[in-house]
Amino acid sequence: MSATFVGMPAFPAAAREALSDTQLRRNLAHATGTIRAKRAAVVGEVDEWEELRMAGAAIKDNTLRHLDEHLLRLEKSLTDRGATVHWARDAAEACEIVASIAKQHAVDEVVKVKSMATQEIGLNEALATQGITAWETDLAELIVQLGDDLPSHILVPAIHRNRAEIREIFRDKMAAAGRPAPDDLSDRPAELAGAARLHLREKFLRARMAVSGANFAVAETGTLVVVESEGNGRMCLTLPEVLVSVVGIEKIVPTWSDLDVFLQLLPRSSTGERMNPYTSTWSGATEGQEAHVVLLDNGRTRALADEVGRQALRCIRCSACLNVCPVYERTGGHAYGSVYPGPIGAILNPLLRGTGVDDQVDSLPYASSLCGACFEACPVRIDIPEVLVHLRSKVVDAHRSAPKAEAVAMKSASWVLADSKRLGLAERGMGLAGRLLGRFGRKVMPGGRRALGRLPWPGSLWSNARDVPAPPAESFRAWWRREGRR
Amino acid sequence: MSAREEILGRVRSALAAADPSLAPVPRGYRSVVPAGDVVELFAERLVDYRAELTRCTADTLPAALASALGDAGSVLVPDGFPWEVPGGVPDTGQSAAELDRLDAVVTLAALAIATTGTIVLDHGPGQGRRAVSLVPDRHVCVLRTDQIVPGVPQAVAALSPDRPQTWISGPSATSDIELNRVEGVHGPRTLHVLLVSS
């Protein structure tokens, strides 16, 4: 696996490969099970949880409906407080802005606090092509970056790795990136975290420029908010002379006081804690630091124009939907082929990038059983199943041209079913097939009925993911003729 | 067209058919307060985050401070910190590398939140700039019991966005390795709160 999502196969192919990785499934089942239990316990403590969800959804919806006004207000309040505001239509433009700020300050390395927006735009790779190294400083991001791997979870990007794998990555790769791992490094989590602390501290102390995202941007006051646990965020936000924050335009909340909703919803939904260890807020340039804010579109206005899908822009990237999703738990994040995996990724990617353009993106609305657990877990009440169904219809519409095999099959089926004589004949044929296939069926389903293995193409499109029951040896009507008249 | 004009134009055309009316935001959560004593709740939640807690009075504070600092030889003391600190080094705008060579830091706080066990620094007098409570490995914070508010809504209402803020809940921690919580990654590995009865 290389450190880019470009060229990833469509979800069904990627998922099949992931399902055969038993180590991955064990790591994931353990991690998602743990975090589900923690989240349930701390959410259960809050009697007004449903009201907070309603408030969170309403605040975000109200902001999105007047996003142009809030963007202008945010720009003004940031500028008034000494920050420089940049606007980026797409990934390339955003990366170019960050690179040019680095060049103005003659820096060839930057430290980064984990940011979904900068992963989305491929900032690290873009900076590398201009000779600028970006060091990820979140422990999980460090594991992913050193392992030349891809993140697989919004909140815990290395959720697919266990401690033994992490130890190997640190021992093999740390030396080439700076301070090497200690020779006697064990796989105890505390020792692994200690090695990361020493390795990264030398980078924090010498860094002159940092890049961050923001969890929230307050239009009224120009306040950016970063929520984190390790202190690497605080290191990036406070130590370097120059701070560049890449902020998606959907991150806005109108007023400072609105944060009282999100600072309750986010920690409990994400890490399952009452509060994350560190939250930093700052308004514009502070303590003599030069501050830049890049307001990023990159498909967000496309999502905004979709009346059903617009609600996905409420997302606060907590990852609660990933941890409750039966599909994510078995396939992991890589199968989604994007920095936004899981149920939210299955809707966010097609909304940001459009349907009917890319087979990988078009496969994502189908990466779900529509069980609804994600909607129930979402702290801002995004109706993910509703959006999935809506996007499936858009994908179908985008590919509507020659009649498909399925449509042809349905048409002939309707001809058979429309007439009792034709149906009787078909059933006799099925009975014969059933007696034959039942004998050769390779699996036995619950209840004792035989099931077939994979069908030849085009039946394989159906049977690759499902057991196909052998047809019954006798139709109901045949049975009735034989038995029912006694 | 500039990126700014183009993005604003895209936003406006995306919203052309949208209903501009605003949904009501329920705010009943703001009047919900935890049952029982907020000081006891704060103490319980703080310790739950594996922070250390010493309760004292104004009279016993100097002894508690000395004890919390333990064997720390050099302790950064921000401007406006009102007590004598053994091994105290005034904040003269030390660089990150210089802060890294100090053993501990003492600060005051702006307020604390009971339901979450959080202390909030707004970096006013006695609290230091943001870096000083981050780089040294031990952070000792002096808090008065009357600075504790019940929940997050009361804290947000009392704080001003004009000041940068750092909300701290326990020592630096990570759960990135098999979701095991480990204290101390990049921030202070020890957080010790001295809670002064008022």
Which tens digit of pLDDT belongs to each residue from A131-172? 999 999 999 999 999 999 999 898 889 989 999 999 999 999
- Phi, then psi, of B108 in degrees rounded to 5: -95, -175
Assigned token pair, B38: 């907020």
**What letter represents residue A173's amino acid?**
K
Q: What is the mean pLDDT of residues A378-396?
A: 97
Per-residue CA distances from A168 to A26, A181, A220 (Å): 18, 10, 48
Q: Say if A301 is an interface residue toward chain B (CB within 8 Å).
A: yes
* Facing residue for A197 by CB, picked from B161, B165, B185: B185
H helices of A81-188, where? 91-104, 116-120, 123-129, 139-146, 163-177
Residue B2 lies in a domain: no
Q: Give the separation between CA B113 and CA B42, rounded to whole angstroms.
A: 7
Q: Say if A304 is an interface residue toward chain B (CB within 8 Å).
A: yes
Query: Looking at CA atoms only, how far is residue A295 from chain B in angstroms?
Result: 9
Q: Say if A164 is an interface residue toward chain B (CB within 8 Å).
A: no
Residue B22 lies in a domain: no
Could you tell me if residue A91 is left (phi over 0), alpha (psi between -120 and 50 degrees) or otherwise beta? alpha
Residue B18 lies in a domain: no
Among A residues 270-299, those touching chain B with beta carbons less than 8 Å apart:
271, 273-283, 286-287, 295, 297
Least confident range from A11-15, A291-295, A393-397, B184-188: namely B184-188
Contact B182 A193 (CB under 8 A): yes
Q: Give the separation between CA A51 and CA B24, rounded to whole angstroms.
A: 12
**What letter represents residue A117's amino acid?**
A
With beta carbons under 8 A apart, name residues in chain B contacting A192: 177
Q: Spell out the residues 6+ positions from residue A319 whose beta carbon is closer than 8 angstroms to its own.
A: A153, A154, A155, A156, A270, A342, A344
Helix axes A405-417, A420-440, angle to 10 degrees: 120
Contact A87 B3 (CB under 8 A): yes
Contact A301 B10 (CB under 8 A): yes
Going B124 to B126 to B129 to B133, the CA torsion angle's sign is: negative
Assigned token pair, B177: 């390795």
Strand pairing category for A223-228 and A278-283: antiparallel
pLDDT reported for residue A3 = 57
Percent of chain B past pLDDT 70, that is, above it, reads 100
* Facing residue for B7 by CB, picked from A158, A197, A301: A301
At B143 the three-state DSSP class reads: strand
Strand pairing category for A242-248 and A209-212: parallel
pLDDT reported for residue A357 = 92
- Phi, then psi, of B126 in degrees rounded to 5: 80, -5
- Considering chain A, what is the average pLDDT of its residues? 92
With beta carbons under 8 A apart, name residues in chain B contacting A230: 172-174, 185-187
Contact B25 A234 (CB under 8 A): no
**What letter represents residue B42's amino acid?**
F
Per-residue CA distances from A424 to A419, A428, A473, A481 (Å): 9, 6, 14, 12
Contact A192 B177 (CB under 8 A): yes
Could you tell me if A360 and A337 are in contact, meaning their C-beta atoms sit under 8 angstroms apart?
A: yes
Q: Scanning the structure block, which residue is given the tokens 């390790």?
A: A230
Query: Looking at CA atoms only, how far is residue B22 from chain A in angstroms?
Result: 5
At A330 the three-state DSSP class reads: helix
Element (H, E) at A130: none
Q: Give the separation between CA A341 and CA A159, rounded to whole angstroms.
A: 12
**Whether complex ipTM tops 0.90:** yes
Domain at B59, CATH number: 3.40.50.10420
Smallest Cα–Cα separation from A76: which of A67, A64, A84? Answer: A84
Residue B135 gets which letter from DSSP? S
Q: Which residue of B has its CA nearest to A188?
A: B177
Reported confidence tier of residue A1, pLDDT bands at 50, 70, 90: very low
Burial of A263 (0-12, 13-18, 19+ CB in 10 A): buried
Give the count of domains, chain B. Answer: 1
Q: Give the separation between CA A360 and CA A468, rounded to whole angstroms.
A: 26
Burial of A16 (0-12, 13-18, 19+ CB in 10 A): middle
Q: What is the mean pLDDT of residues B60-85?
A: 96
- Phi, then psi, of B188 in degrees rounded to 5: -60, 135
Is a pLDDT exceeding 80 seen at residue A338? yes
Element (H, E) at B175: strand B173-177
Q: Give the separation between CA B48 and CA B42, rounded to whole angstroms.
A: 10
Q: Give the separation between CA A142 and CA A351, rounded to whole angstroms.
A: 29
Is a pLDDT exceeding 50 seen at residue A337? yes
Q: What is the mean pLDDT of residues B1-29?
A: 97
Q: Give the separation between CA A94 and CA A116, rounded to whole angstroms.
A: 14
Contact B186 A249 (CB under 8 A): no
With beta carbons under 8 A apart, name residues in chain A contacting B111: none
In chain A, the N- to C-terminal Cα span, in Å, equals 67
Going A421 to A423 to A425 to A428, the CA torsion angle's sign is: negative
Per-residue CA distances from B17 to A354, A456, B8, B14 (Å): 19, 48, 16, 8
Could you tell me if B107 and B143 are in contact, meaning their C-beta atoms sit under 8 angstroms apart?
A: no
Q: What is the mean pLDDT of residues B104-125?
A: 98
Q: Which residue of B has its CA nearest to A93?
A: B3
Contact A278 B185 (CB under 8 A): no
Assigned token pair, A85: 């505001």
The size of the A-B interface in CB pairs under 8 A is 228
Could you tell me if A196 and A175 are in contact, meaning their C-beta atoms sit under 8 angstroms apart?
A: no
Contact B176 A140 (CB under 8 A): yes
Smallest Cα–Cα separation from A255: which of A78, A63, A392, A80? Answer: A63
Task: Note down the domain range covering B171.
Answer: 35-196
- pLDDT, one tens digit per residue, over A288-333 is 999 999 999 999 999 999 999 999 999 999 999 999 999 999 999 9
- pLDDT, one tens digit per residue, over A40-97 is 999 999 999 999 999 999 999 999 999 999 999 999 999 999 999 999 999 999 999 9
Q: Give the separation between CA B80 and CA A457, rounded to whole angstroms.
A: 78
pLDDT reported for residue B179 = 81
pLDDT top residue among A5 and B132: B132
Element (H, E) at A227: strand A223-228
Least confident range from A236-245, B140-149, B168-177: namely B168-177
The CB density around residue A257, as the number of other CB atoms within 10 Å, is: 16
Is a pLDDT exceeding 80 seen at residue B31? yes
pLDDT reported for residue A2 = 46
Residue B136 lies in a domain: yes
Give strand pairing partners of A110. Answer: A134
- Give ∠ CA A193-A195-A197 in degrees, rounded to 5: 70
